[in-house]
Amino acid sequence: MAEHTYDVVVIGAGPAGEGAAMSAAKHGRRVAVIEDKKQVGGNCAHRGTIPSKALRHNVRQIIQFNTNPMFRDIGEPRWFSFPRVLKDAERVIAKQVKLRTGFYARNRVDLYHGKAFLLDEHRIEVRGAGTANDVLVAKEIVIATGSRPYQPPDIDFNHRRIYCSDSILKLGHTPRTLIIYGAGVIGSEYASIFVGLGVKVDLINPGSKLLSFLDDEISDALSYHLRDNGVLMRHNEEYESVEGNETGVILTMKSGKKIRADAFLWCNGRSGNTEKLGLENVGLECNSRGQLKVDDHYRTEVPHIYAVGDVIGYPSLASAAYDQGRSAASDLVSDAYFRFVDDVPTGIYTIPEISSVGKTEAELTAQRVPYEVGQAFFKHLARAQITGDTVGMLKILFHRETKQLLGIHCFGDQASEIVHIGQAIMSQPGELNTLDYFINTTFNYPTMAEAYRVAALNGLNRIF
């Protein structure tokens, strides 16, 4: 058993771990990363963000082809199997792995493959690497082990017709009917993907509303378009049992309803990857979902042990995880770039996609803030008319008196790109954050960004 000494040891090579490792290495620290997978990238690259969003892109292209009247002149609509579409999406994973593997080599970060086990507050054993276990001695430790789909014990996820959001990426056929339990971000995204492939989807929501954290108008728009595309949504329903057999899956709900489908996909919550990490040896405890508690500098109750990414819970986004990792490294090297990551835009890759930043109308109403609304509907934009992506809108919430931007909400094609223009202005100090920026700025024409000018003028007309 060999011992190796480092300034920083990062557990996990996903976005959070990569952000922490690269930032610490660039500040001259000797850094090692422990990863339990054969390749870097974490669940983001292999099971979550990258494969699912690449899959969604391919499905969207199929929908565009099949609904574009111009293509009807050259052939009939084309439908592709789930495995074929997924296989094409997997090409992106290899590119991401190659790119990110280069980061570790270029920044001289040592990479150990195996499972990390905390022996004490400064020593981590690398287990199961196929050779004698190494022990890494670290001045500071960053836990970035990510999360996995929560799997209730009364559901048999080993059954060939029952899947979670990880195992669905190994689905070897295209089911005719699919039940998705959980109407959060992941459930809504997969509902869009499968209905786009012609699958009949039942989306079961334990809550009363789809994505209740969104602005009401945006949530309602998503609900409408999912229904319009053929998704059947059932709200306020909880499962009683899930039983798979040779011909399908039967979902029995507490309300007494029973639904049968060819396959079942569980998308209801995630758990932090903290089991068998040896937390008890350093005096740390996780909550019921395996998540660690941190302070506003990403430090756990052991000051030199940090935790970042999905393992600390909300917001559980790859974008936030990367910045949290960098911020943890900024804190331990005491540079000028530390920030607590609390201004993360929402990015939901349904079809159409959704993105937002700032307050919703309901929040502003509850806080008694005198706000007004500016709207731009994509169907009125020349660029959207050219591309055919006319579904959607941009909504700006601003203070009636100061015209300060309070919230940006976007639904439709390129929403996750469009929102960043509003985010940039909202982050400006004082009078620089105002609706007037969009009124006094010339936007390229035709563009989707022009929606900001249209929405700003629409809002301005409401206060005069």
**Local confidence pLDDT in tens for the 464 residues of the chain:** 689 999 999 999 999 999 999 999 999 999 999 999 999 999 998 988 999 999 999 999 888 888 777 776 666 777 788 888 888 878 899 999 999 999 999 999 999 999 999 999 999 999 986 666 899 999 999 999 999 999 999 999 999 999 999 999 999 999 999 999 999 999 999 999 999 999 999 999 999 999 999 999 999 999 999 999 999 999 999 999 999 999 999 999 999 999 999 999 999 999 999 999 999 999 999 999 999 999 999 999 999 999 999 999 999 999 999 999 999 999 999 999 999 998 899 999 999 999 999 999 999 999 999 999 999 999 999 999 999 999 999 999 999 999 999 999 999 999 999 999 999 999 999 999 999 999 999 999 999 999 999 999 999 999 97
pLDDT of residue 135: 95
CA distance 463 to 460: 6
pLDDT of residue 2: 85
Q: Which residue in 313, 286, 308, 310 sits closest to 297, CA to CA? A: 308
DSSP 180-201: EE--SHHHHHHHHHHHHTT-EE
**Which stretches does DSSP call E strand in 267-341?**
270-272, 305-307
Q: Which amino acid is at 113?
A: H
**Which stretches does DSSP call E strand in 197-338?**
200-205, 232-235, 239-244, 249-253, 258-261, 263-266, 270-272, 305-307
| Angle between the N-to-C axes of helices 216-228 and 185-196, in degrees from 0 to 180, rounded to the nearest 10 | 30
CA distance 178 to 196: 13
CA distance 177 to 73: 31
Pairing mode of beta strands 263-266, 162-164:
parallel
Q: Which amino acid is at 396?
A: I
pLDDT tens for 361-405 read 999 999 999 999 999 999 999 999 999 999 999 999 999 999 999
pLDDT of residue 31: 98
pLDDT of residue 68: 77
Q: What are phi and psi of 288, to 5 degrees?
A: -65, -20
For residues 150 and 230, the answer to whether their CB atoms sit within 8 Å is no
Largest CA distance in the chain: 75
Which tokens is 321 given? 């995880």
**pTM for the whole thing?**
0.93
**Which stretches does DSSP call E strand in 64-176?**
110-113, 115-118, 123-127, 134-143, 147-149, 162-164
CA distance 411 to 350: 10
Residue 324 Cα distances to 15, 16, 227, 256, angstroms: 9, 6, 36, 44
